[in-house]
Structure 1
């Protein structure tokens, strides 16, 4: 019988999903470590302009903080011939992540896309994951919905300590007028371009991370409260892949 509550968080440009078996201390370490590494990567590379370099720097920073990568798969042109980008992501996640956590991620993303989730949390996630630079086009109905947007999003899943399953997704798309850029995750795959996906399994060594913990938390300061948002709990199910 499964016990506990699944918990999910916005963590800057990422969403993290934890099973009820994960300890509070491990959860805090994962969120702090990831946030620090995201900010460190952004200090060196614009994640919407140089998404591949940003992702590499982010993963390297995780390793330096003793979040040791044990598996990495990178695809800059995944073979997708039908369905949506999310269908492909879900298939890749299913090899490493419990179905219940994948479904929670899908539900959270769809709530964000359709506007049914918390508005402040939704705004934060949009600010951290999407960039739609202005386009110099004449005003008029023919030019509506022609703004190209860059999306960089990470999803993190922790079912059993110390394993962290990560997927880092970046792509560009021109969302139809009135649709949010993240909605293109669920659109037909041919609506996206410059797609890059990294699937990572890592193990956070809490003892070794403890050497950095105090200084890291101090450096993050108020950004922990600003960029880490608790999205709430939900009953945990026994669903597995």
Structure 2
């Protein structure tokens, strides 16, 4: 249990984890920039069908609005190398040293606990809609469909800046759980598993010029794109 040390949100296909020690302004900036840059990228490209172009547009938007990427790394891995596991298992094995690894691990534990405690909570359903696309079917008799998965993870601490992960892959595995807790069979994955990692820091002198305009532009978009992820203790206290 994280006992209130970390907060989790679903944000337009991104799972955002923020330390409770972050200031309210830091939290608001991370949530707004995460939502705004994803919406900007999705206007130009499909995150499912043009993942690389989507990612480049998203990164350009981050930079334009004052979030400087200081370190980055990417991996294209055959599924056989990742082994069976959840998306958290896969990512934790590959996290580069510039990522806030402890905060990422806390977030992964938060996500697992949240789904186990209440798999039917609104945030879980929202992420499934945002991050999964049914690509094709092999016919009504087979019952096998391809699922394209395009997931982002963001982690933020009061001094670590913003760690960002982009994960995409396609699987023929029938759904056997919620995305944040599902155990994937590498034999069902089509092609490689694509991962990209970024460390970004806000350039206040730049972002300050956009902060209010971005917040206003998102006023009517948050309800459809953002939802708090409830961890186990939140559910038990209701």
Tell me, yes or no, if structure 1 residue 158 matches structure 2 residue 159: no
Partner of 1:92: 94
1:118 Cα offset (Å):
4.5
Q: Say whether the 8 Å CA contact 2:153–2:164 is kept in structure 1.
A: yes
1:94 Cα offset (Å):
7.0
CA distance in 1, matches of 2:78, 2:66: 29
Tell me, yes or no, if structure 1 residue 188 matches structure 2 residue 185: yes
CA distance in 1, matches of 2:110, 2:96: 16
* TM-score, normalising length: structure 2: 0.83
Secondary structure of the 2:229 match is: strand
CA shift digits 1:194-240 (9 cap, x unpaired): 421101111012342110011112222211232122224789xxxxx
**Correspondences of 1:135-146 after superposition (within 5 Å):** 135=137, 137=139, 139-140=140-141, 143-144=142-143, 146=144
* TM-score, normalising length: structure 1: 0.82
Q: Say whether the 8 Å CA contact 1:149–1:181 is kept in structure 2.
A: no
Q: Say whether the 8 Å CA contact 2:8–2:110 is kept in structure 1.
A: no
Q: Say whether the 8 Å CA contact 1:175–1:184 is kept in structure 2.
A: no
Partner of 2:119: 117
CA distance in 1, matches of 2:82, 2:159: 35
1:170 Cα offset (Å):
0.5
CA distance in 1, matches of 2:44, 2:108: 29
Partner of 1:14: 14
Partner of 1:238: none
Segments of 5+ residues of structure 1 without an aligned counterpart are 236-241
Tell me, yes or no, if structure 1 residue 148 matches structure 2 residue 151: no
CA distance in 1, matches of 2:223, 2:148: 26
CA RMSD across the alignment: 2.8
Q: How many residues align?
A: 228
User: Which stretch of the first structure deviates more once superposed, 187-196 or 216-225?
Assistant: 187-196
Partner of 2:165: 167
CA distance in 1, matches of 2:170, 2:136: 14
CA shift digits 1:159-188 (9 cap, x unpaired): 233611111001100123x52573796323
CA distance in 1, matches of 2:114, 2:71: 31
